[in-house]
Structure 1
Amino acid sequence: MTELFNACEYLLDRRVEAGDGDRVALVGPSGELTYGRLHERVMRLAAVLRGLGLQPEQRLVMFMADRPDFVTVYLAAMRVGAVPVPVSTMLHADGLADLLRDSRARFLAVTPEFAQTASRAAADAPELRAVLAADGATVAAGVASHDLDALVADAAPDPAVYPTTADSPAFWLYTSGTTGTAKGAMHRHGSVRVVCETYGARVLGIRREDRCLSAAKAFFAYGLGNSVLFPLAVGAASVLEPAAAKPELMAERVRAHGVTLFFAGPTFFANMLRAELPGDALAGVRLAASAGESLPAALYQRWTGRFGVDILDGIGMTEMLHIFLSNREGDVRPGTTGTAVPGYDLKILDDADDPVPDGTPGTLYVRGDSTATGYWSRYAASRQVFRGEWLRTGDTYVRDADGYYTCLGRSGDMLKASGIWVSPAEVEGRLLAHPAVAQAVVVAASDTDGLDKPVAYVVLTA
């Protein structure tokens, strides 16, 4: 008989059963939430979702800021066997509507910051049945809109957990990593345990005394691991910041909440240097992690020299859920992405799909148990990326004789700027829509920190 496994139970019930009910789980704008209170709130919301008719494997799109209710909705949806789909809060209404239609979402959860955009998008999503308005959001969606706080307050906790297995669909994350077209990467319940017990435990060494703060938002796979999966898996605390990450704001949150693990990307680390924060701004932080784009050696040296905190640069993908190649504490080689995270295998192949010797560039492939099962309704794209047990990253890498990997760039047409995929064709299309632009081309160019940024060259009509 297949063993039952539910990611919500793994992240939450397990902690309460271990005696962590009184420990702080989440720190948000309104204060702290213990594991016990979070558990009760999740059970109440699970009862609400069942009562509203959300069925197992139906999608619930999350258009939400990094607040405690993001975590509550994410966990409660998985608890009832449904599929939460956190999406980028940078989307405009038409982009959100596209994802609502593509996912065939029945429910949409929204926080106040994005209520207006959600209202416009929901009107163009015919399969949407209900909106959950969190933290006092007001959504005029043309479908039933429910005050999440009021519903949860009136509901009785329901301890039932839908009988999922490790291979059951748990959540989706949309990515445009290889083509510029958004694709829903479908993750299993078991993938949560995999990333927590590989990168979380064996690279970060996360422990229950830690407090985590991520500049990357939780709708990113990177941010989801940083702010939700890793801390909850061990009984640590997550500091959630709904506002856009700014260096001064992050430094203040570090100081105010005793943050010990800080997560960001190279562009944000560079911005922290430019903000001229004092050298003790990150006092108490024992480790920083970087992902989203390669961390140049010079930037690493400047940042660690200023703040005295080591950065573990790594690479992950939405399709792999989190980081699978990383430097290690006490074993950082600046300018490289380190070595394979325990539990993952890597290989570099040439254009003929043959292995290359050390020192020869090629396309990086990864194998591990956190791999998504594929892209939702994208057969051709899935075939291109998911190659049996292996996943084709699309990144060009070289491995040295000591087994350390260095990123040389992308194999395809996409650019990565500030950790976000950018389609040159899409940017060119927007430029060409202006009546003054006759021709446009967008390329990548390095800035003064050694980070790639999109640069546009245009020919005017007159």
Structure 2
Amino acid sequence: MTTAPPHALDSAIAPASVTQVSSGNLVELLEASARAHGRLERTAYIDDGVEYSFRAVFEGAEQAAAAFAGRGLGLGSRILIALPDGMDFVWAFLGALRIGAVAIPVNSMFHPDEMARAARVAEPAAVVASSQFEELFTAPVLTADRLLGSGGAVPRFADCSPGTPAFAAFTSGTTGGPKLCFHTHADPEILDRAAGEAIGVTEDDVCYSVPRMNFAYGLGNSLFFPLLRGAVTVLSGRRLAPADCLALLARHGVTVYYSQPTFFAHMLGHSEAAEVLGGLRAAVVAGEVLPQALERRLRAILGERLLNVYGTTEIGHALLVNGAGAYREFTLGRVLEPYRLRVVDEAGQPVAPGIEGRLELAGPTIGPGVAHGSDAPLRLAPQEWYATSDAATVDPDGYVRVYGRLDDVEIVGGINVHPTEIEDRLMEHPAVKEAAVCAVRRDSGVSALRAFVVLRAGVDAKSAHGVRQELLATAEATLTWYKVPEDVVFVPSLPRNHVGKLLRRTVRAQAADGSLGP
């Protein structure tokens, strides 16, 4: 692993278009690209029903940059952005990059304790947030009104090398405290040439992303790809319920839609889902393993227009896309250039095709997380391998299958079991909405599998008994004996984090203490 001080993270692969703008600044590139393609007067965003042109995007970024510069912020300053998705976020983010600062988005819906923890990690020189959070921060807080109403002189684009840090994204913190992964002014175009190209965003598209822009994935969906490619993006400050999201997709004629498996599953519970989703050019799913039963339901509507993708915060977006032209059922497709991958055993040695092991990645945008914003950002050289926490196999012709995190594996009778394989079988039952499987220790000291199942609306208690028997019978008929749950417990809901990911550690803990139950 290589380390370097801030502002000196030169990538070995620098997009030519970044180096061709005089400052090397990503915001100058975006503005120059919009001008060269005649897009300045075209609609870039629709926020709360109001349309904003590409020109308005860059003029707002100028105002934000002036406000930041007027407060002494500049190259290398860390600016925490605690705003919901909307134009204020876009302007603050681009304004920070324009002056060479490092934008650090954070979930604006965090509990105050979580927000304070994020600030301790980021160690920002300034914060952009609503006035309700002002007491949480030791750094000065700029509200959106202060940011866009300063009237100060607009600073020039800060001079940046392709390796100058541009933004830092928080990891989810599901396996420890959240860390910051730094990405450079060159990274977004590399990511766009990989995932943006595979998704195929064009000027004719209207995009909407359920994942927020406080995630690296959401930034690509709602900011980098559409601004680089000239698409329209719909923004929503509040998190929409599935029915409201379907209405938004239909109202704005969305053609490219990004969401998580769980949210797609909830959407399919509405009668209009097939018609609305069927009208999409591309439906992109990411964030957790896509259950096979859900993939079948979505592909029945979308065919190869369903793109199952995989990436990490450390990478910055996706490097695997399973969709049109590279589709294979229940896989994540093949790795996208300029990235590489391999699967290794416990000793770190590559395994043969089809053998399960740890997924490792290599490429020019990988920034492992650091504990504090003031720490020197970490970057791997393009040839260095980054070890993920995911279990995977690679088919002989390069198609990748990811089974979940290595620490999600349950051990039953000394044998490793992937809960997702069992959950896929359970979720094929028409009465099952969600399922989670974990090992529990019986009074005898023996570990056995238990399935926790959320039933669909309308399944009564009398019917539930029959469903339980059918689920156990299906498991016995289709799974190896040690993968068959000993019992099925029906629960009203399963613990998930704020982006919808199943909290398996919480499932295990609540299963152990008996609190996960009816």
Kept in 1, the 8 Å contact 2:65–2:95? The answer is: yes
Q: 2-side partners of 1:447 and 1:44: how far apart? A: 51
TM-score, normalised to structure 1's length? Answer: 0.81
Aligned to 2:193: 197
Q: 1-side partners of 2:109 and 2:452: how far apart? A: 24
- Range moving further from structure 2, 57-66 or 42-51: 42-51
- Range moving further from structure 2, 15-24 or 5-14: 5-14
Structure 2 residue matching 1:147: 3-state secondary structure: helix
Deviation at 1:205, TM superposition (A): 1.4
Deviation at 1:366, TM superposition (A): 0.8
Give yes or no for the alignment of 1:272 onto 2:267: yes
Q: Give 1:457's aligned amino acid.
A: A
Kept in 2, the 8 Å contact 1:337–1:405? The answer is: yes
Structure 1 residue matching 2:280: 3-state secondary structure: coil
Deviation at 1:90, TM superposition (A): 3.9
Q: What do you get for the CA RMSD once the two structures are aligned? A: 3.2
Deviation at 1:56, TM superposition (A): 1.3
Q: 1:60 to 1:94 in 2, by over 3 A?
A: same
Aligned to 2:416: none
Q: 2-side partners of 1:147 and 1:39: how far apart? A: 18
Aligned to 2:217: 222
Deviation at 1:132, TM superposition (A): 1.7
Aligned to 1:81: 100
Q: Give 2:364's aligned amino acid.
A: D
Deviation at 1:19, TM superposition (A): 1.7
Aligned to 2:147: 148
Give yes or no for the alignment of 1:287 onto 2:282: yes
Q: 1:8 to 1:311 in 2, by over 3 A?
A: same
Q: How does 1:61-76 map to 2 (within 5 A)?
A: 61-76=80-95
Deviation at 1:273, TM superposition (A): 0.9
Give yes or no for the alignment of 1:161 onto 2:157: yes
Give yes or no for the alignment of 1:409 onto 2:404: yes
Aligned to 2:335: 340
Deviation at 1:65, TM superposition (A): 0.6
Aligned to 2:134: 119
Q: 2-side partners of 1:38 and 1:185: how far apart? A: 26
Deviation at 1:459, TM superposition (A): 3.6
Kept in 1, the 8 Å contact 2:78–2:373? The answer is: no
Deviations 1:280-315 (A, max 9, x none): 123541011111011122211212324667211111
Q: 2-side partners of 1:206 and 1:41: how far apart? A: 24
Deviation at 1:369, TM superposition (A): 1.3
Aligned to 2:252: 257
2:168 alignment partner, one of 158, 169, 172: 172
Q: Which runs of 5+ in 1 are unaligned?
A: 135-145, 418-442
Q: 1:361 to 1:458 in 2, by over 3 A?
A: closer
Deviations 1:167-213 (A, max 9, x none): 00111101145732110111111111111121102x11111111110
Deviations 1:413-450 (A, max 9, x none): 699x9xxxxxxxxxxxxxxxxxxxxxxxxx99675799
Give yes or no for the alignment of 1:21 onto 2:55: no
Q: 2-side partners of 1:163 and 1:444: how far apart? A: 57
Kept in 1, the 8 Å contact 2:84–2:107? The answer is: no
Aligned to 1:350: 345
Kept in 2, the 8 Å contact 1:83–1:170? The answer is: yes
1:46 alignment partner, one of 54, 61, 65: 65
Deviations 1:8-64 (A, max 9, x none): 122233212432111111110150100112111111221121112112111110111
Aligned to 1:370: 365
Give yes or no for the alignment of 1:132 onto 2:132: no
Aligned to 2:511: 457
Kept in 2, the 8 Å contact 1:288–1:310? The answer is: yes
Identical-pair percentage: 32
Q: 1:446 to 1:308 in 2, by over 3 A?
A: farther
Give yes or no for the alignment of 1:360 onto 2:355: yes
Q: 1-side partners of 2:216 and 2:343: how far apart? A: 24
Structure 2 residue matching 1:227: 3-state secondary structure: helix
Q: 2-side partners of 1:315 and 1:37: how far apart? A: 33
Q: 2-side partners of 1:340 and 1:460: how far apart? A: 42
Q: 2-side partners of 1:222 and 1:326: how far apart? A: 13
Kept in 1, the 8 Å contact 2:326–2:334? The answer is: no
Aligned to 1:424: none
Structure 1 residue matching 2:166: 3-state secondary structure: strand
Q: 2-side partners of 1:36 and 1:362: how far apart? A: 49
Q: 1:378 to 1:102 in 2, by over 3 A?
A: closer
Which of 1 and 2 has greater Rg? 2
Q: 2-side partners of 1:33 and 1:102: how far apart? A: 34
Kept in 1, the 8 Å contact 2:393–2:401? The answer is: yes
Q: 2-side partners of 1:444 and 1:206: how far apart? A: 43
Deviations 1:222-253 (A, max 9, x none): 11110111100011111111111322122122
Q: 1-side partners of 2:376 and 2:102: how far apart? A: 21
Q: 2-side partners of 1:269 and 1:284: how far apart? A: 15
Q: Which runs of 5+ in 2 are unaligned?
A: 1-9, 11-18, 411-418, 420-448, 456-470, 472-500
Kept in 2, the 8 Å contact 1:185–1:376? The answer is: no
Q: 1-side partners of 2:27 and 2:173: how far apart? A: 28
Give yes or no for the alignment of 1:95 onto 2:95: no
Q: 1-side partners of 2:406 and 2:377: how far apart? A: 17
Q: Give 1:147's aligned amino acid.
A: R
Q: Give 1:107's aligned amino acid.
A: A
Kept in 1, the 8 Å contact 2:195–2:319? The answer is: yes
Q: 1:383 to 1:194 in 2, by over 3 A?
A: closer
Q: 2-side partners of 1:397 and 1:460: how far apart? A: 32
Aligned to 1:186: 182
